[in-house]
Each structure stands twice: as C-alpha cells, then as structure tokens.
Amino acid sequence: MWRYLKRVLIGKPLKTMDEGGQELTKFKALALLSSDALSSVAYGTEQITTVLITLSAAALMYQLWVAALVLVLLFAITLSYQQIIHAYPSGGGAYVVASTNWGQSAGLVAGGSLLVDYMLTVAVSTTSGTEAITSAIPALYPYSVLISVLIVIGIMLLNLRGMRESASFLTVPVYFFILMILGMVGFGLYNIASGNITYHAAAHVGTPVQGMTLLLFLRAFSSGSSSLTGVEAISNAVPNFKEPKRHNAAATLAIMAGILAIFFAGITYLSYYLGIRPQSSQTVLSQIASGVFGHGVLYYLLQLSTAAILAVAANTGFSAFPILAYNMAKDKFLPHAYLDRGDRLSYSNGIISLAVGAIVLILIFHGQTTLLIPLYAIGVFVPFVLSQSGMIIHWFRTREGWWLGKAAINLLGALISLALVITLLFLHFVNVWPYLIIMPLILWMFYRIHQHYQNVARQLRVAAKAKVEDHEYDGATVIVLVSNITRVTTGAINYAKSIGDYVIAMHVSFDENPKKEHKTAQEFKEEFPDIRFVDIHSSYRSIATPTLRFCDVIAKRAAERNFTTTVLVPQFVPRHPWQNVLHNQTALRLRTVLNSRENIIVSTYNYHLKE
C-alpha cells in the first residue's frame, strides 16, 4: 500500500541516466528559483513606508532614496553572485566561497545561516500566502495554521516529484505575477505621463523633513532590503541547470535581478506619487493596484497573482536547501543521508528536512511568522558579507581579467551588506537576538558531526592498515533466544547446530502463567534433548535486561575458552509488510540492546510465512 501511495504522490522511479532530463532551462529555472525574490516586492516597499510613516507623511519622500540604495545593493550582489557562479560552479554559493577564502568556520557560518534562512523562507512565504487566502475567504481564518502546513506538504511533494515537474507547475503563477506587475507598473507610469493620475505625494523630492535622522533612514533601508532575500538561490543551484551551466545560471540571475529592479523601483515610485500610506486593512501593493486599475477585473487578477506567488515562493528554499545540504554533507558537516538521491533524482532527504523544519516554525509561531522578517533578513545578509568579501580575496589571489574592477564591486556589496547586518543587530535586536543563540548551536552541531566522521574514518583506516595477525578461534558458542516452541524455533536450533560447537537455548519466563512456562521447558527438552535449555525468570516483565545479562556471562566464559559468541534471534516474517504492525517487535528490541556489546555477534533467523 505504501509503495502504491508513493507512486501516486511522487511518480515512478527514474533511471540515473535520466538525470539530464531533470536539468533546467533558463525559462523554467526563472520560475523555480526566482519566486522568493520576486514575491518580496509584495512587501518590500511596504516595509520601508511602515518605518518612515512613524515620523510623518512627508518622510515618505525618503522611500525613493532608500529604494535607490537598495537597487545599488542589488546591482552589487547580482554582479558578485554572477562571479561566484563562474568561479564556483559546483553550487553551495556563499558556503563554498566563504569556506575557500575565509576558512571552514566562516563557511559554516554562511552555510548554517542559509540553512535556517531557507526554513524561514518557506515558513514566511506560506503564511503570507495563507494570509492572502484568508483575506479573500475570512471563514478560513481559524484554519490558517492547517492551511500553511498543507501548502508546505504540497510543495514538498511537488519537489519530490523532481525539478522538471515542479518547474512546470510553477511556471504559471510566477509568469502570471510577472505579467500583472509589469502591466501595473507600465500602465501606472503611462497614466502619470498622460496626466490621468493626480500627484498626491505629501512632500516633493528634496524637501527637508523635520525630525528625519540617519538612524531612521538606516532602519527603513534595513527593512526594505528584505526584498533582496532569495537572490543568492541561483548560485546555490548551478548544478541543476542545463549545459552550459555557468552561462545559463548567470543569465538567469541577470534576468531575475533586472525584473526585480524594475518591479521594486516602479512600485516604490508609484507608492510615492500616489501618496500611499501603509494601512493595517490593506497592503501598499493593493492600494497601488486600486489607484492604477480601479476595483475592476485587473485589480482582482493582480491580487490573485500576488497570493499565488506568495504561496509558491517557498519553492525557492526547496530548490536551494538540498544542494547546499549536499555540499555540506560532502564536507562531512551534515549527515551523509543528504548525499543520496531519491526515486525521482531529487535530494529527497534535504527536501523532507526543510519541510519538517518549516512546519515546526509555523506551529511554534502559530502561523504568525511576519515578525521573523528581520531574522529572515540577517540570515541572508551575513552570508552576503562573507561571500562578497571572500570574492575580494579570490580576485587578489587569482588576478584574473578585470580583477580590480570586480573586487571593487564586491567591496561595495560587502560594505553595504555589513552596514545592514550592523543595523539589523542594533535597531532590530528584539527580533534578531535568536540568531546569536541559534548559530553557535548549529556550529557546535556541525563540528560534532564532522568529528564523528573523522573518528570513524580514522578507526576504519587504522584497522585496514594495521599489521595484525588474523585471530583463530577454537570454537563457537551460539545462544538461541526462545519464546515458545514453533517451526521458527526448530529452524533456528537446527541452523545454530550447523554453525556452532556449543548451542544454548535461552528462554525468559514470567510470573503470570507458570504452567505455560513449565510446559514450554518440557516441550523443548522433548524436542531437543541434546541442547541445553536455560530458563531465566523475570519478575518485572522485562525480556531485554535478563537476556543481555545472561549473554554477557556466556560471552565472558566463551572468551576464556577462545570461543566466539553468537546470539541468534529467531523471528517470522509476515507475507505482507503491512501485517508487521499486527505483531510486537520483540526481536527488534533485542537486537538493539545486543548490538551494544562488541564481544557478541548478533544474527537473525527469518522464517517467512507463506500465507
């Protein structure tokens, strides 16, 4: 049943040779990897105006200057990540750049920040999409958390089906949103030029605003920079592109950055010109659409496209997280399970881990994750600082092409990103303080995992190279665990006799039914008179503890005689896998406790049922 359900949800397994068919064209990659960055224009300008309006309506004029600085940062980041794509095409983005140029610790900070950030991306995007849904259908508001979780599970299943199918699905909402925003910006600018829209700005550009400070400007800038989250995703997913991978990835990044710049600049200018002020009941984007389109069909289509792209923006995280986890697992800082591909050639364990992490965040914050946007932003800009400063070191080391100019661009991006990180830490400390606790814990986890893999490799390597003579044993002791006398017991005893010089049958009896226990001992002695039968009494209904204690004693005595000790655990295997839930898992528990002993060999005797 599970296999059938898996095939329905995920699809038939693909051959390894089919991997090329899962690679992305620029058209599909733009839909798959840009939804997070493009969707941020739905709230980027609003974040700026929400900060500036705290001073006065006239201060909203400064949103143009804030937007200009955000666009400068976008330009520097885009050029920087294009350079990263060409210099480090294996994917991993900021993690690989920081590790190579700043050292492993800096790389782990970048990688850990992005791993957490992708979980926040999924949580914030899905809850934002849910808010759009519940705004349209208020009756669904009590089910917001459930809807968010279902969206995450749906996108997870979509990605488990493979990149090609998820990209095909996302093409419609992403390009629909692009067309609607382009239409709104274009039509709005045309109406301004033709005089069809009245100028409503509270203050002209350049007018001094009393009370305006650099601190408030930086706070608005740090809030508006949330529009740049997701820009780095393409550099993490370079291996997913069709050949030539570097060229296609760099071109896709340039297209995405160009669209994002047009959207952000156009929406911010329309917001200023129309005199839009943030409201709790209506988003800034909705007010702009109302001012440009009125409340006709186009207005509702734009709202629909916004809700759709916010809901699917989480997919950017699902595309980038598995590749980043793969690179970190390859360096032995994450479990090797993240190196494995699933049936549909996607990194299934990374996809599932991301979904679980996002669902946990949604449940913890009850679907109200918008307060996490500053934490979400710092998780991106710390890697920005490390990757762009790392590229400066890269250019001074390689000195390729116009390396001084490239280094200057990286320096500009690094300085602005660093200023943003400092601003976020000081002005949004209430929201970002968890980062200072989470990151040390994540780094500790990375190092513990790495230490484990190093210890394993060292022990296995020493064992392989050591010149130790093969140990010759004088015989073998086999302990057969017996619950009652069945065909399984008979088969296990006969097998034990074939491999062991000395066979012991061990049974654990309880107080509940002494007659039954006595009968079991009698039946065994009649069936196997030449095999020693040991009955261990347990007053606490425990099988594992007395079994382990007895096996320890026998193993110690066997070692004195230079014998090996094997514990044979008999079990029957049902005809159908689902029938396993109808039986207790005593054999599994016994094998688990016995595996803790290095002087005991644990073996299983399986008896397969035919019906």
DSSP letter string, 536-599: EE-SSS-SHHHHHHHHHHHHHHHHHTTEEEEEEEEEEE-SSGGGGGGS--HHHHHHHHHTT-TT
Supply the pLDDT for residue 568. 93
Is a pLDDT exceeding 60 seen at residue 346?
yes
* Structure confidence by residue, pLDDT tens digits, 82-124: 888 888 887 667 888 899 899 999 999 999 998 988 888 888 8
- C-alpha angle with apex 163: 162 to 167, nearest 5 degrees? 125
Chain CA centroid to CA 191, Å: 44
Supply the pLDDT for residue 377. 75
Q: How confident is the model at residue 224 (pLDDT cuts 50, 70, 90)?
A: confident
Q: How confident is the model at residue 355 (pLDDT cuts 50, 70, 90)?
A: very high
> CA nearest 106: which of 410, 379, 383?
383
* Structure confidence by residue, pLDDT tens digits, 242-278: 888 888 989 999 999 999 999 999 999 999 998 888 8
Is a pLDDT exceeding 70 seen at residue 67?
yes
Conformation bin of residue 541: beta by default, left when phi > 0, alpha when psi is -120 to 50: left
Separation CA 136–CA 180 (nearest Å) = 18
In contact, 489 and 570? CB cutoff 8 Å: yes
Is a pLDDT exceeding 60 seen at residue 465?
no
Q: How confident is the model at residue 589 (pLDDT cuts 50, 70, 90)?
A: confident
SS (H, E, C) 276-306: CCCCCCCCHHHHHHHHHHCCCHHHHHHHHHH
Supply the pLDDT for residue 344. 59
Q: How confident is the model at residue 379 (pLDDT cuts 50, 70, 90)?
A: confident
**Residue 325 C-beta-side C-alpha neighbours within 13 Å:** 28
Average pLDDT over residues 201-218: 84
Is a pLDDT exceeding 80 seen at residue 482?
yes
Supply the pLDDT for residue 567. 93
Q: What letter does residue 239 receive in the DSSP assignment? A: G
> CA nearest 36: which of 107, 151, 124, 100?
124
SS (H, E, C) 86-122: HHCCCCCCHHHHHHHHCCHHHHHHHHHHHHHHHHHHH
Supply the pLDDT for residue 164. 67
Q: Which residue has the tokens 């274009």?
A: 186
Average pLDDT over residues 328-342: 87
Lowest mean pLDDT among 29-33, 341-345, 468-472, 496-500: 468-472
* Structure confidence by residue, pLDDT tens digits, 415-441: 888 988 888 888 778 777 888 888 899
* Structure confidence by residue, pLDDT tens digits, 127-165: 877 776 776 677 888 888 898 899 889 888 888 877 666
Supply the pLDDT for residue 258. 93
* Structure confidence by residue, pLDDT tens digits, 502-561: 999 999 887 667 777 778 888 888 888 899 999 888 777 678 888 999 999 999 999 888
CA dihedral 131, 132, 133, 135 (to 10 degrees): 80
Instruction: State the chain's mean pLDDT as an integer.
Output: 83
Supply the pLDDT for residue 440. 92
Average pLDDT over residues 441-460: 88
Conformation bin of residue 473: beta by default, left when phi > 0, alpha when psi is -120 to 50: beta
Conformation bin of residue 601: beta by default, left when phi > 0, alpha when psi is -120 to 50: beta
